[in-house]
């Protein structure tokens, strides 16, 4: 059913309003006034076609929780728990009175993300850009000059080793066979875990001949269980369990057939779409996740585009898609794009693209803007250290796409909050300066000027 509307404000003589409890000069209060919350109620209503059942949670509450979650790098459970303790967060999410109970179950955020998808969270990123404009952080010309780069967003998986993958595949097959009532000749529950641990010890001792022999033996255990299940698959009736069993059999067959130097290898059974990406880092040669394209304003580093790119595509082939997303989110086509040398051969003709180190056709102004291309690197670092871009806990390629855009929203929210915090501190510092030497008759007029500046 469609989301319930916010109840009309009513006076409650037994409870104090939040605006009477909090400091209205706080940056979260200012930010709440800069965001157009009605956009979410209008745009997200189409994701709820049914008119029966229990009404959905308020879109403003869900959007506010997602903003806070990625601005302060919290999990679903942590952001809901802190919301019930923080009056500023409750005001930001549209509450009138202080609430002592949890606003929703943390699992509701998972269902909301699945329902709205990438399109729904892109509306959230658009509203952070509009809030940045209203706060004075993003000027009109800033959206004409963007910087584009790519990074790796790792998935929430263990480091893939052959021994761990074979053992995990065997355990999953044995569990599904037990659930389906299939009797196995031998499940190797005693031998396989010991052998998997022995493989790691052989590798640590640099006894690679013994390690490879133990690995072949472990692979044979998994293959025997797999073939035993395939012979008895006809006994399993049609249904969800059989579909899960068929899907797992296909993944394990793919795992057992792959070679060390194959492309599109399987690195995780619960995340088959994970890619192995090498970005040339000295401290981390390979990263297992998905590539993410990041587009920021050349001045200020405000995120105006964020997209997950499955399949580890070449950077130059992703530039046109990244610039198209920037145009869709900002309603303004960028005129200049500044990228590194990994984007050579991009093929973009409708936007002037400048590669770092280029000299042909570069004026003094363009050279100055081109030097600011490297400013996107610390912005990506902030999204990884202060935000949640380091590791994606959401499942599948759809989860990657949603999580990447939400990380961009969190970065913009942190930048706006910092800007508002600095502005408020500057105004407080200016109060004695503005009132210095002013008589009693002129003091109210000067204070009204300060109030207008703070608003």
pLDDT of amino acid 450: 47
Say if 406 falls within a structural domain.
no
State whether 121 and 171 are in the same domain.
no
- What CATH number should be reported for the domain holding residue 346? 3.30.420
Domain that holds residue 217: 162-257
Number of domains in the chain: 3
Say if 318 falls within a structural domain.
yes
State whether 169 and 299 are in the same domain.
no
Per-position pLDDT tens, the chain of length 455: 677 666 655 566 677 889 989 999 999 999 999 999 999 999 998 888 877 888 888 999 999 999 999 999 999 999 999 999 999 999 999 999 999 899 999 999 999 999 999 999 999 999 999 999 999 999 878 999 999 999 999 999 999 999 999 999 999 999 999 999 999 999 999 999 999 999 999 999 999 999 999 999 999 999 999 999 999 999 999 999 999 999 999 999 999 999 988 888 999 999 999 999 998 888 889 999 999 999 999 999 999 999 999 999 999 999 999 999 999 999 999 999 999 999 998 889 899 999 988 777 788 889 998 999 999 999 999 999 999 999 999 999 999 999 999 999 999 999 999 999 988 787 776 666 656 655 544 445 544 544 454 55
pLDDT of amino acid 74: 96
CA distance 408 to 148: 13
Q: Which of 345, 376, 393 marks a domain boundary?
A: 393
> Could you give the maximum distance between any two Cα atoms of the chain, in Å?
97
How many residues does the structure list for the chain?
Answer: 455
State whether 35 and 144 are in the same domain.
no
pLDDT of amino acid 444: 52
CA distance 97 to 18: 5
Say if 412 falls within a structural domain.
no
Q: What is the pTM of this model?
A: 0.89
Say if 425 falls within a structural domain.
no
State whether 204 and 116 are in the same domain.
no
Token output for 420 = 């508002």
State whether 239 and 384 are in the same domain.
no
Query: Which residue, 248, 202, 206, 198, is CA-closest to 225?
Result: 248
Say if 3 falls within a structural domain.
no
Token output for 379 = 């912005």
Say if 437 falls within a structural domain.
no
State whether 249 and 303 are in the same domain.
no
Whole-angstrom CA distances from 372 to 56, 88, 334 are 45, 36, 16
pLDDT of amino acid 11: 61
pLDDT of amino acid 140: 77
What digits encode the pLDDT tens for the residues 29-76?
A: 999 999 999 999 999 988 888 778 888 889 999 999 999 999 999 999
Determine contact, residues 303/295, Cβ cutoff 8 Å.
Answer: yes
State whether 373 and 279 are in the same domain.
yes
């Amino acid at each position: 059913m469609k989301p319930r509307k916010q109840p009309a404000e009513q006076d409650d003589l037994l409870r104090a309003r939040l605006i009477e409890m909090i400091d209205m000069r706080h940056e979260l209060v200012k930010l709440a006034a800069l965001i157009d919350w009605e956009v979410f109620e209008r745009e997200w209503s189409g994701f709820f076609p049914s008119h029966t059942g229990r009404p959905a949670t308020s879109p403003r509450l869900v959007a506010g929780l997602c903003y806070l979650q990625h601005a302060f790098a919290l999990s679903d459970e942590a952001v809901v728990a802190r919301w019930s303790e923080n009056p500023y967060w409750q005001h930001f999410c549209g509450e009138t009175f202080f609430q002592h109970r949890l606003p929703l179950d943390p699992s509701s955020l998972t269902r909301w993300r699945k329902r709205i998808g990438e399109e729904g969270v892109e509306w959230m990123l658009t509203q952070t850009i509009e809030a940045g404009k209203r706060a004075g952080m993003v000027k009109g010309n800033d959206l004409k000059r963007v910087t584009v780069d790519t990074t790796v967003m790792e998935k929430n998986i263990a480091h893939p080793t052959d021994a761990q993958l074979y053992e995990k595949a065997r355990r999953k097959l044995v569990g599904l066979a037990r659930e389906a009532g299939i009797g196995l000749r031998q499940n190797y529950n005693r031998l396989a875990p010991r052998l998997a641990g022995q493989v790691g010890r052989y590798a640590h001792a640099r006894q690679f001949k013994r390690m490879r022999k133990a690995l072949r033996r472990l692979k044979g255990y998994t293959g025997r269980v797999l073939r035993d299940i395939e012979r008895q698959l006809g006994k399993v009736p049609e249904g969800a369990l059989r579909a899960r069993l068929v899907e797992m059999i296909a993944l394990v067959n793919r795992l057992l057939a792959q070679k060390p130097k194959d492309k599109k290898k399987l690195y995780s059974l619960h995340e088959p779409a994970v890619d192995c990406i090498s970005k040339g880092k000295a401290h981390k040669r390979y990263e297992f996740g998905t590539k993410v394209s990041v587009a920021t304003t050349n001045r200020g580093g405000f995120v105006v585009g964020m997209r997950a790119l499955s399949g580890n595509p070449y950077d130059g082939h992703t530039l046109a898609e990244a610039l198209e997303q920037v145009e869709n989110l900002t309603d303004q086509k960028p005129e200049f794009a500044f990228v590194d040398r990994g984007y050579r051969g991009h093929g973009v003709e409708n936007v002037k693209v400048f590669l770092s180190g280029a000299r042909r056709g570069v004026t003094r102004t363009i050279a100055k803007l081109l030097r600011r291309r490297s400013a996107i690197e610390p912005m990506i670092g902030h999204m990884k250290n202060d935000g949640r871009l380091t590791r994606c806990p959401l499942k599948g390629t759809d989860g990657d796409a949603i999580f990447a855009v939400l990380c961009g929203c969190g970065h913009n929210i942190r930048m706006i909050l910092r800007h508002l915090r600095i502005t408020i501190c500057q105004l407080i510092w200016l109060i004695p300066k503005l009132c210095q030497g002013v008589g009693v008759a002129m003091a109210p007029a000067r204070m009204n000027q300060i109030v207008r500046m703070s608003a």
